[in-house]
Amino acid sequence: GNSVTQMEGPVTLSEEAFLTINCTYTATGYPSLFWYVQYPGEGLQLLLKATKADDKGSNKGFEATYRKETTSFHLEKGSVQVSDSAVYFCALWTGAGSYQLTFGKGTKLSVIP
Amino acid sequence: DTAVSQTPKYLVTQMGNDKSIKCEQNLGHDTMYWYKQDSKKFLKIMFSYNNKELIINETVPNRFSPKSPDKAHLNLHINSLELGDSAVYFCASSQDWQGPGYTFGSGTRLTVV
């Protein structure tokens, strides 16, 4: 079956530090890949996505590149801010007819001033 | 304008009670979902409905009964609530055939005491 594996959290960084959250996946075919963010007390928001190999998704200074050869979609940001503190979820979608997103377990990020 | 709205936002109830959570989307999407997020933030699909038809029922106890009166609504009724049902429940919608543009509601925090 399909699955997503994310690095265990929590991750605590100082402001302006470099962020990497690892994500690898197992899926049949060619899935689309996503990062969602959940701020405290809120629902999930789409952060970025990539629909095919070598695509790079980017938004709000975050980036992730779809690497088919390593089945990975690592999230990076060059300089984190306190406002980036949230839970980050990697997810995959295997196409029309799948009727679901498969999520990783989430990684909690805390950024301290 | 709220795209996916859930009510109530918080629900505290006693074991054995029956409760409902309502979800409405105004995006014109044809697919709606219920996800459960446990205390460790893990998100798991419960149900998917496409054009009012149940597509996915992911090994959820039959105390949970979704109802979709039309494409814009997907309600969740839970009978005989148990302590283990305490979680945050998220509704979401998408236009499945167009790709995974999932939009999530802000969640309903259910606490069973």
Q: What is the pLDDT of residues A2-60, one digit of tens each?
A: 899 998 889 999 999 999 999 999 998 889 999 999 998 888 999 999 998 999 999 99
The angle at the Cα of A79, spanning A75 to A84, to the nearest 5 degrees, equals: 70
Q: What is the mean pLDDT of residues B6-22?
A: 97
Give the model's confidence band at B86: pLDDT under 50 very low, under 70 low, under 90 confident, else very high.
very high
Residues of A in contact with B42 (CB under 8 A): 103, 105-106
Helix (H) or strand (E) holding A14: strand A11-14
Kindly list the distances between the CA atom of residue B23 and the CA atoms of A21, B9, B26, in Å, as whole numbers in the listed order.
32, 11, 10
Phi and psi at residue A35, in whole multiples of 5°? -120, 130
Give the pLDDT of residue A29. Answer: 80
Tell whether the model's pLDDT for residue B56 goes beyond 70: yes
Pick from A76-80, A89-93, B27-31, B37-41 the range whose average pLDDT is largest: A76-80
Give the integer Cα–Cα distance in Å for A79 and A86: 15
A108 contacts B45? CB cut-off 8 A = no
pLDDT at residue B51, rounded to an integer: 85
User: Chain B residues contacting A, CB < 8 Å?
Assistant: 31, 33, 40-45, 48, 50, 55-56, 90, 92, 96-97, 99-102, 104-107
Nearest by CB to A100, from B33, B99, B101: name it: B33
Chain A residues within 8 A of B45 when measuring between CB atoms: 100-102
pLDDT at B76: 96
SS (H, E, C) B11-75: EEECCCCCEEEEEEECCCCCEEEEEEECCCCCEEEEEEEECCEEEEECCCCCCEEEEEEECCEEE
Is the Cβ pair A105, B41 closer than 8 Å? yes
Q: For residue B59, what pLDDT is reported?
A: 74
What are B93-107's pLDDT values in tens digits?
A: 988 665 667 899 999
Average pLDDT of the residues in A58-72: 96
